[in-house]
Amino acid sequence: PDALIKYDAGQPVLYLLVSDHVGSIRLAIRASDGAIVQRIDYDAFGRLQLDTNPDFQPFGFAGGLHDRFTGLIRFGARDQDPNTGRWTAKDPIRWAGGQANLYAYVDGDPVNAVDPSGLEEIPSDVAGLIGERHGIAEAMGNLTEATASALPEVDPLEAAAAAPVVAGLLRKARSFRRNVENIERYASLVEARTAARVFCGIGDDAIDYVATMGPNMGRVVGRSSPDGLRGWRLDWDLEKGYHVNWWDQSGGRKRVDHLYGANLVEGKGWDDFMELLNHFPRL
């Protein structure tokens, strides 16, 4: 989840939830004034290191549901014990899962993988993307959209004050030139995709973007506004390599009025690109 509404004296109060790259909620921010009401820290396997406001919200490590009585974290079909870094039950498909240890959580690599269903690990970069469609906690890029949707009278830049990362991206976007491919570089797919979301300006009504040409024709490769004027998509070519294309054609009908760019993912290649796309369906 990106936001949470709680009631105080009968009045709804909106809180924004900031998560890290594996979906762990790290901050809860009151949208009205930007005050941090909860800060949470975990070790690599989800053992709680800091919680400034226990029981404020139920979401725990990697987006799972935390049981404060047992200390376990529920991920779909199984519970994970952060103290041991293991599942409390065997893999339901036993040895068919390909792991030597049926109790191993994400094959011992919680930094680069997650298992939100308790049945299949996926790369953490993939989780960030699938989260847009299936409710896994996302990166900071949603904060501005969540605030603006719940409080439409708030200017987007003011809403972004609760999320400095997004505010910085919005400032950068103001310097982009129209009718020129604006190139940026990022260390991870999550960062590149989060920036693309902010640059193109899609909202909570975004829909799947399906490739209409090339080898991935018919496959979901990104997200766009319902009218298609704004959006982002995963791409790869010989010149730029693995990158996230984004566009904003809301400025006018002519190309000279359009904003667009490519966020390059450093250190990633064709194999990484195809591995990610294999997690998304063809329609």
Cα 264 to Cα 196: distance, rounded to the nearest angstrom:
10
Cα 60 to Cα 163: distance, rounded to the nearest angstrom:
20
89-128 residue pLDDT tens = 988 777 655 666 888 888 888 888 888 888 777 776 555 5
CB-CB contact of 73 with 105 (8 Å): no
Candidates 97, 60, 53; CA nearest to 81 is 60
Q: How far is CA 228 from CA 26, 116, 192, 200, 260, in A?
A: 33, 30, 20, 11, 13
pLDDT for 201:
81
157-196 residue pLDDT tens = 444 444 455 556 666 777 888 889 999 998 887 778 878 8
pLDDT for 74:
92
pLDDT for 124:
63
Angle between helices 189-200 and 164-173 (to 10 degrees): 60
pLDDT for 52:
93
Tell me the average pLDDT across 74-80: 90
pLDDT for 2:
74
Q: At residue 4, does pLDDT exceed 90? A: no
Please tell me the least confidently modeled range out of 33-42, 99-108, 120-129, 239-248.
Answer: 120-129
Note the Cα 2 to chain centre separation in Å: 9
Could you identify the residue written with the tokens 């490519």? 262
More confident of the two residues 34 and 124: 34
| Average pLDDT value for the chain | 77
Angle between helices 189-200 and 124-134 (to 10 degrees): 40
Mind giving me the DSSP string for 137-198?
Answer: ---TTHHHHHHHHHSTTS-HHHHGGG-HHHHHHHHHHTTPPTTSEEEEEESSHHHHHHHHHH
What band does 244 get if pLDDT is binned at 50, 70 and 90? very high
Cα 32 to Cα 162: distance, rounded to the nearest angstrom:
9
- SS3 assignment, position 10: coil
What band does 6 get if pLDDT is binned at 50, 70 and 90? confident
pTM of the model: 0.47
pLDDT for 82:
92
Tell me the average pLDDT across 208-222: 79
